[in-house]
A and B are shown apart, each in its own frame.
Chain A
Amino acid sequence: MSAPGNERTGSERMGRERMGSREGGVSFRARLAARGIDGTTLLVLPGLLLMLLLFIYPFAYGIADSLSPAEGPWYANYAKFFGDPFQSRTIAATLWLALPVTLVNLALAVPIAFRVRLMKRQRLLTTILVLPITLGTVFVADGLLTFLGPRGWFNHTLIGLGILDSPVKLTNNYWGVFASLLITGFPFSFLLVLSYVTGIDPAIEHAAATLGAGPRRRFWHIFLPLLVPGLAVTFCLAFVQAYAVFPSAVLLGAPSGPTRVISIAAYQAAFEQSDHAYGTAIAIIMGGVELVIVAGVLALRSLFYSGPVAGTKG
């Protein structure tokens, strides 16, 4: 991240020549350049402007919009949401989906990542796993509707194996959405955990083994403490994805019942009832609840060790 000294003096000199203030001491431009602001820094402006216009401004506009309802006090939209159980229980419905799925995904990802790190050819497996992430939830929902349906391969196999007598209902309910979040979320968590696990210097494990630690102790006492920061970040990113569930909750779930998640409530208010102030209020509540959980997990993370996971040389 260090700005190279010779370049900075180069632009400093250029600036001074242009300002023609060679005898007038340090010019304004040179002083700016010394603080890191010169022609190169200005390249940040288009991106900054775009984000201000398309992200910050609409967000501020949305907050103002949600706080100025058609009638009632300034907080009327928020009171309406929390006062209506049909709406406010969408928060619980969303968390009831997103939290278990994220935990299951992480719990599966860690042991599997520890196995896969020993593999020589990981490429095929990781390529297969990246498929559902790139295909997205709509495609996965379409496939799962056939696959998990009463006459699909899943039920067909279980009945053929004698595990089931009659098909289980796995679509248009909680479990359909759960399955879709598992199939897109597990690969995501796994690939992230794998990148953290392979970042740990194997010499640390060798040292522990030399000192007589068995596999279980090496995991609990050596790897896990080193992994906690990475796992916390993985949890947050995986949770963000599961929490924002929208198409699969509609297509695979029961969108007016148990899988009426908060994004459905926000979408319906904003675009089906055309009450954009109310819809924005729900969208902001949605973001707020998520940020509270993410901030909580990251705060917990700071209680653990965070430092280099690569061994030091010499």
Chain B
Amino acid sequence: MIRDQGLLSKIWRFAVWAVVGLFVLNLLAVIVVVIINSFSTRWLGTWLPAGWTTRWYFSAWKEFQLGSIVLVTFQIAFAVVLISGLIGVMTAYALARRDFPGKRAIILMFLLPLLIPPLTYGIPLATLLYKMGFGGTFWGAVLINLVPSVPFVVLVMIPFVEQIDPRIEAAARVFGAGTTSLFIRVLFPLLLPGMLAALLLVLVRTVAMFELTFLIAGPTTQTLVVSLYYAVFASGVRASQSIDAMAVVYMVTTLIWLVLALQFVSPTQIVARAKQQ
């Protein structure tokens, strides 16, 4: 790497870092504002609130029935993770190991849901799911969330499968491994880091997925982010601190999985790996 020492470069470098600093400052402020407000008794037009309290968490927990919402969010997210993991890894394995007619079309089909706006395929799918009686149900929410999740797992897993040397599988066959033991004792351990990364990211994305869940969710199947949207939408009805307490609960449930996912992937890969095709 080359570092330039001229005066102009120094000014330029300073300007770039100033922009980065400002952006990070504003970004952190947006998050911190929510946290502070959720702990404040009253906060109007001053730097810091008049007093501190934790009562908004108790009132939000009761008011929004957060207990059941968090439970439903995790049920939906884990169902999506399990199904898309199982199907996605199988598909990725076949796509990575075999060349067959029509493969390009299939890969394009898995790319499309990541390229077109969720509402474009979400509205017809939700219409269909309502007609079939899935509207507002648990499985309706799971099905609609599978559409972006399965392609995501497939596209993340293909490079992971490709980097496993096929001769390892051949060697296992030579030593008498059947298909089952090949999968359980050879492929599974080798694929585990990739699978954990992909599935944790699916979990984060499903918990945070608003547009699709919003289309299908009924009163008993609202996830946290959908409830948060309704609460902010009708702000004025409830205390803003109560809404922000819910936002903090949502933030914590999302960030736990993000922190776990970051053990396996770098932040750059969260955006780049699935998209570089």
Interface residues of A (CB under 8 A from B): 1-4, 6-7, 10, 35-44, 46-48, 50-51, 54-59, 61-63, 65, 108, 111-112, 115-118, 123, 125-147, 151-154, 156, 183, 186-188, 191-192, 194-195, 198, 202, 205-206, 209, 214-215, 233, 236-237, 240, 243-244, 246-247, 250-251, 263, 266-267, 270-271, 276, 279-280, 283-284, 286-287, 290-291, 294
Contact = CB atoms under 8 A, between A and B. Distances in A.
B268 interface: yes
B13 interface: yes
Interface of B: 1-4, 9, 13, 16-17, 19-20, 23-24, 26-31, 33-34, 37, 44-45, 47, 86-88, 90-91, 93-101, 103, 106, 109-110, 112-113, 115-128, 143-144, 146-147, 150-151, 154, 162, 166-167, 169-170, 173, 179, 204, 208-211, 214-215, 225, 228-229, 232-233, 235, 240, 243-244, 247, 250-251, 254-255, 258, 262, 266-272, 275-276
B117 A143 contact: no
Contacts of B47: 153, 156
A146 B33 contact: yes
Contacts of A108: 19, 23
Contacts of A130: 258, 262, 267, 270-271
Contacts of A151: 44-45
A187 B214 CA distance: 25
B267 A127 contact: yes
Contacts of B262: 127, 130
Given A3-B98, A43-B94, A271-B215, A263 B119 contact: yes
Given A128-B27, A132-B27, A151-B44, A51 B150 contact: yes
Nearest to A215: B4
Contacts of B86: 46
Given A65-B124, A139-B251, A244-B119, A1 B96 contact: yes
Nearest to B259: A127
Contacts of B251: 135, 139
Given A250-B233, A287-B117, A54 B125 contact: yes
Nearest to B226: A138
A46 B86 CA distance: 9
A284 B106 contact: no
Contacts of A286: 117, 119-120
A244 B117 contact: yes
B130 to A, nearest CB: 8
B93 to A, nearest CB: 6
A240 B37 CA distance: 33
A267 B34 contact: no
Binding site secondary structure of chain B:
helix
B146 A36 contact: no
Contacts of B125: 54-55, 58, 62
A287 B120 contact: yes
A142 B247 contact: yes
Contacts of B88: 47
B19 A192 contact: no
A280 B272 contact: no
B232 A141 contact: yes
6 contacts: A108-B19, A125-B20, A128-B24, A128-B28, A134-B258, A246-B119
B87 A283 contact: no
Contacts of B150: 47, 50-51
A284 B173 CA distance: 49
**Most central of A43, A139, A183 by chain B CB within 10 Å:** A139
In the A-B complex, list the 7 residue pairs whose CB atoms are closest, starting with the nearest. A62-B124, A47-B91, A287-B120, A244-B117, A36-B100, A126-B267, A195-B272
**Most central of A7, A132, A243 by chain B CB within 10 Å:** A7
A123 B266 contact: yes
A3 B227 CA distance: 48
A115 B16 contact: yes
Contacts of B268: 126, 191, 194-195, 198
B123 A276 contact: yes
Contacts of A141: 232
Nearest to B9: A215
Contacts of A132: 27, 30
**Most central of A44, A142, A147 by chain B CB within 10 Å:** A142
A39 B229 CA distance: 46
B116 A287 contact: yes
Contacts of A137: 210
A137 B115 CA distance: 18
A40 B106 CA distance: 16
Given A147-B29, A152-B33, A287-B116, A142 B23 contact: no
